[in-house]
Structure 1
Amino acid sequence: MLDFTWKVFSQTGNVDMYLLFKELEQDKEERPDIQNDELAEVDFPIS
């Protein structure tokens, strides 16, 4: 998601995309385990 928001921002200069990028980046730094948990759920969905 970070890559996508950065790519859109760099191509468009859209300030809202930059702010979203920074928010996602900060959230990732505060909770680095989120991505691993999300990937685990894709492999083993909870029913």
Structure 2
Amino acid sequence: MLHFTWKVFSETGNIDTYLLFKELEKDHEPRTEEFSEELAEIDSPIS
């Protein structure tokens, strides 16, 4: 979906399409807080 949205933006220059691309891109980024919690859980010894 990101690739398609970027392609549409690059061909049309439509700012709304660019904003949609940025929103989709943000949704695909891993959340550092959640990632850190997962790593801490993995690293902790089993009780």
TM range (shorter): 0.5 to 0.7
Distance 1:17 1:30 in 2: 22
Of the two, which has the highest radius of gyration? 2
User: What CA RMSD, in Å, does the superposition of the two structures yield over aligned residues?
Assistant: 1.2
Q: Aligned to 1:20, what secondary structure does the other structure show? A: helix
Normalising by structure 2, what TM-score? 0.62
Query: Deviations along 1:1-47, whole A, 9 cap, x unmatched?
Result: 0000000000000000000000000000046xxxxxxxxxxxxxxxx
Percent identity between the aligned chains?
77
Q: Structure 1 residue runs of 4+, over 4 Å off?
A: none
In structure 1, list runs of 5 or more residues that go unmatched. Answer: 32-47
Q: Report how many aligned residue pairs link the two structures.
A: 31
Q: Distance in 1 between matches of 2:9 and 2:30?
A: 23
Counterpart position of 2:16: 16
Residue type at the aligned position of 1:12: T
